[in-house]
Amino acid sequence: MSDAATVSDRDVFALDWINRQAALGEPWFFAQAPTPLEAPYPIAFNDDVAALLDIDAEAAREQGYAETLSGNALPAGTNPVSHRYGGHQFGVWAGQLGDGRAITIGDVRNARGQAYEIQLKGAGKTPFSRFADGRAVLRSTIREYLGSEALAALGVPTTRALAIVGSDAPVYRETAETAAVMTRVAPSLVRFGSFEILFENRNFDALAPLADHVIGQHFPELAGIEDDGERYRAWAERVIALTAELIADWQAVGFCHGVLNTDNMSVLGLTLDYGPYGFMDSFDPHWICNHTDAGGRYTYDQQPHVGLWNLGRFVQAILPLLSGEPDAAVEIGQALLEAYRGRFDAAYMQRMRAKLGLPDARDDDRALVDDLLRTMAADGADFTRTFRALGHVSAAPAAANAPFVDEFVDRDAAAAWLDRWRARLGGTGADDVARAERMALTNPKYVLRNYLAQQAIDRAADGDYSELHRLHAVLRRPFDEQPDNADYARLPPDWARGLVLSCSS
């Protein structure tokens, strides 16, 4: 190609397509082309994710990405597939599920040797759509785009979002809405349920090829272990550790997934499948962010326990890999799962000590953390604002208690806890500046509150995407003060209390 070629002459999506899933094939991945989308148009393109894939974002905007990322005109070299998996939903085996509205168009390898799966969510029917239409609506697409990028900026492992493409084609959920396709990007989208469906269908011979695919691609340091049982045990240990770390990350930023079924759990420890998720405003350990969850299975305080339960289903599914003798496999699996609680507790306390600015670990730190959360829950103090405010308080005994106590109705109770915190820090403000700087890097000022997402959705429904872009820009820098954007950190308005989210959100 001539150096004089214009942007319009170049295909910015002519990437190094390696198509790992298509190469593995059935019964795990099934060939499936996207269904053409009527008159697609561009809505959002994410420079950060484009950089991961070696895509020139400005060139993509100039060339136009709607036809490509709607699935209407796939790049040469792609080999689209949909993924088969099952899952336990709300604790009950739901059978075969699979990618009902998502199609992986292929995998790319960037110049740094990193491979990413590129998936179009909302690209039409697949073999696993059952009676659904295979489409996504703009509302839920915006929520996943913003939610995944908000967590990524907070340092929480997650799938990523490259783009949103819209269409005026109607999609019917509770009401008629407009269609959208989101381009989701991740090293892998294999889930716990990917193994469960094989185990539940007694397709045991298919477990090892999928496990070896995951290990070879994402845990290469384990691939060289010659003994099969030892290799799979080491891999299961890693999945358990990554899951514990992920849920500790969620707890530390006040994030609730909302529908933590086994088909929504990543074997790489990524936040996966954004539906009725939410960042807490007023702290409530029993908060239900998904009104479909009538029994409160997936509340904030239950997430660590559900993580263990889901891991139990994953380990059960891979028992045939752990040992050829069933009783021995069960014993090995139970021993693996027993490590979860210690892993989670250690990860959680590491994060909470950082949020409190504690320089070292002491045995009574858990009581200090738990008592703060109880005081916050009693008043409904805002989760994000309370921890951020703590970083602006001096550890010196005679220092002012504001702005921390300003977040509480019971200011005396907050002040009493603050006295204990100061005593734990040694009762000196000598290192206040350094401590405050550290705390500002772990306690965000900005999170994706539900009402902020809803405002962006409402504007987008009218064809105005400016708030989507503005909010995304704020969330890319959650730890910065951003004085011009301070309104995004204020307490939610009264009308936000009535927001209701469901599994279609």
What are the binding residues? 98, 100-101, 121, 133-134, 184, 191, 264, 273
How many residues in the chain?
505
Measure the CA–CA gap between 154 and 441, rounded to whole angstroms.
Answer: 9
Binding-site entries for ATP: 98, 100-101, 121, 133-134, 184, 191, 273
User: Distance from CA of residue 219 to its chain's centroid?
Assistant: 20
Cβ 167 vs Cβ 178: under 8 Å: yes
Token pair listed for 263 = 């088909």
Tokens of 110: 């960037």
Alpha helices by DSSP H, listed for 357-426, are 365-379, 383-390, 411-424
CA torsion 144→109→206→119, rounded to 10°? Answer: 30
Which entry of 107, 263, 382, 432 is annotated as an active-site residue? Answer: 263
How is 412-461 classified by DSSP, letter by letter? HHHHHHHHHHHHHTTS--TTHHHHHHHHHTTS-S----HHHHHHHHHHHH
Strand ranges in 23-153 using DSSP code E only, listed in sequence order = 29-31, 41-45, 81-83, 86-89, 92-96, 102-109, 115-121, 136-137
C-alpha to C-alpha distances, 194 to 191, 267, 430, nearest whole angstrom: 5, 9, 53
Active site residue 480: no
Three-point CA angle 196, 214, 181, nearest 5°: 80
Place of tokens 């999506």: 13
Phi, psi (deg, nearest 5) at residue 172: -105, 120
In the numeric block, the tokens 């691609």 are attached to: 217
- Extract the annotated binding site for Mg(2+): 264, 273
Phi and psi at residue 169, to the nearest 5°: -60, 135
Three-class SS of residue 408?
Answer: coil
Please list, in sequence order, all residues whose beta carbon lies within 8 angstroms of the beta carbon of residue 241, skipping any fewer than 6 positions away: 269, 339, 343
Distance of CA 20 to the CA centre of its chain: 23
What residues have CB less than 8 Å from 194, skipping those under 6 apart? 28, 83, 84, 85, 210, 267
By annotation, the residues acting in catalysis are 263
